[in-house]
Structure 1
Amino acid sequence: MAHQLGLQLLLALLACNAIAMLYLQRTGALLHPLSRTLALERLITAYHAAEGLTPEDASHLLAAMQTHEAHFWVASKAVADTHDMRPEEQRLIADLRQRMPLPDSVRIGMQLERTSGANAREWVFSGAGWAPLRLRTSIDLPNGGYLNAIQHPTGSYEWTRILSYSLPVTTLPVLLIVFFFMRRVVQPVNNLAQATERVSRGEWIAPLPLQGPQEARDLTHAFNVMQERIARHVEGRTRMLAAISHDLNTPITELRLQIELLDDDPARDDMLESLDELQAMVRETLNFVRGDAVQEDTVRMSLSDLLDDLARRYASMGQAIGWQRGAEIVCHCRPLALKRALTNLIDNALRHAGDAHLSAWTAGGEIIVQVLDHGPGIEQAWLSQVFEPFVQLGQRNSDHSQGGGLGLGLAIARACIQAHGGELILENRPPAGLCAVVRLPEACIP
């Protein structure tokens, strides 16, 4: 926002300078006052020399007056027309007659133009409008000749000099002052946006300092209050579920003791199995919710090292998984939460397909991790529903006493990935099987 406002202000200042240039070029005086006076004084001196001296003496004096800016001579033909003179030229003639009283019968012709021959008030935005000025003058002499003069007076508005002065002096200080105040306004909003992005990834941050204008302080205060209320809500929910878990475990334990006193038979075993499943559901539900409340710090770590550790862990348990380390991948994350999510995905692949293959890379500002198996896959209609808690597609190799087969693994994995601001999707890839794709956003990449 600060850059956009600064660019708009810069364009506005440039537009103001351009409008001023155009207005002065079309309506202001064309000649600098000192240069105007000098040109008229030269004409007066040259006229008195041509009128009062002999032709030879006048020629010598006029030759001595020659400079690179002025040229005077006497000729039988006028170099300046007396017809269709513009207001600027008429004002010059009137000023000359006032300085040097002449009879009305003495004709004076003046033509103020650019050295390129273009109109003196040519558009300043065209190349001809920047050419130097040239003043041609012809004055009748008593002997029937003409005093001719060509002078190059200094323009009133030399835009190269004016702009080289006005742009740094007027534009830069204004931009610096405005940028200072815009930074004071925008910086709190920028800090708030960064804090909001971090909170959206499940991080809890210290209350932001109240700074900037009143509106920014009010917005920051509202954010701090919102974060505090969310923290209290999560903590209250976790305490409530912990209490429910404790209260449920008591009657479950009592039922288990009573059932174990019964004689051994299939009905007794079925009831104990059901109690194991119920107890596992209570425990895993609490773990699932408690995972939202655990405040783990976000750190910069090597994702490649984490995947190496997972591969060694499963190899030590006799369940080797496919993993070939490639380029180093470093990210900002909560290691335990991310490790838990990937572990659940690997366990899910091993439980339902018997194998798992890991791969990871970066592309398009994202970190992509894939867990691929060679199992039967999942029906297309169930690819999104399996992320719901307690949704189970099979019971094979399920151990309820350890939380296996309860339908919480994918739900926990997705919650952990989403807490990092990422995305978890499942894809069928015939004939390979099922592929879990984890996408972590660019914000997770340092």
Structure 2
Amino acid sequence: MLLGAPALAADALSPYPEKLERITRLFDSEVTSGRLPGAVVLIQQHGRPVYLKCFGLRDAKTGLPMTLDTIFALHSMTKPITSLAAMMLIDQGKLSLTDPAAKYIPAFADMMVGVEATGVDGSRVLKLVPPVRPVTIMDLLRHSSGITYEYIGGTLIEHAYMAAHLFGGRFDNAEFADRIAALPLARQPGTLWRYGHSTDVLGRVIEIVSGQTLYQFEKQNILDPQGMTSTKFLLTTPEERARMAEPLPSDPILVAAERGRRSHPEWESGGGGLVSDITDYARFAQMLLNGGELDGKRYLSPAAFKDMTTDHIGPGSGVERDYFYFPGDGFGYGYGLAVRVEPGDARPPPPGSIGELKWDSGSGTYFGIDPKLDMIYILLEQTQNERGRITAAFKKLVYDAFTAPN
């Protein structure tokens, strides 16, 4: 089912060039208005680009232009790569979805769940209760672990996360996982989809199972085989750093987030630490579109790929949806990816196809995979201020391009 475009076979659908120009006008307007420093946009169908353009500047301070080799902080678009790495280990029988996280990170055996209660003086207090079951690898993959971010989870949980100074001093994945284990879970494991540091903990599990750092494992098994030479946690040369896209100084949340990410080069954050360029991420997205295979190399078995891209929080799963449900209207969630399972409640429904995959990030990076159209689309930008508005407008224009002009 294709929503917002004719229900024709994928090989019969092609974008209309005059409709694609609306995407150009959108980003030209965002750049000239000063709301966005720049962006790189790709739509690729049947393995070939049908739209690829650079807009504006990679760095407003230096005036350097946006180019195809510009490197962007992926933030949460790191999560699908880390989730693929974990699924590869599961596929190889080295890790199991039902394994408790404590099997690999002993501190997780002592985790408690934080429940808001009324104290003797009538104030709200955080009561610690035992989990009904352990946090599992499946929980880490589908964000049902009870691990949260410091800005989500209820006032008392948020206070506990902030008071822990998670990002204080130097720390690697091992230290960070132990810091998370010392905090209360925001909900009982397996009961609620809630965004958080689950994928960061998963990165540490990958290290323990593989005997490598997260980057070493991903480089050897995903990045190098796919030719993703610009995708890494740490830029080490002046030439690489000069290719980095920068947010506008007027984007304080993203500026602070980037400052925090760059101030911890020793931390390989599986949930948000990678940087990449359009060529690299297109390779990764095309591999997903191909069902886990690229250039004759298979990264996941068909069964494992199907499991990764199936909704695991839908009816019968026992998993509720948080108020901050980032997959969005009509989407369930697999392992590291949102998957479209229904048109959704909005009228008209948001554009797209049943079975499409997607994810985005707090820095405005966004990608989608549409098997019915045999298409991937990627937006790389660096904006927290404008990302919600721009990504929604961008996706609508992508799908509008497949409808005949009036």
What interval of TM-score do these two structures reach, taking the shorter chain for normalisation? under 0.3
TM-score by length of 1: 0.19
Structure of greater Rg? 1
TM-score by length of 2: 0.21
Larger proportion of helix: 1
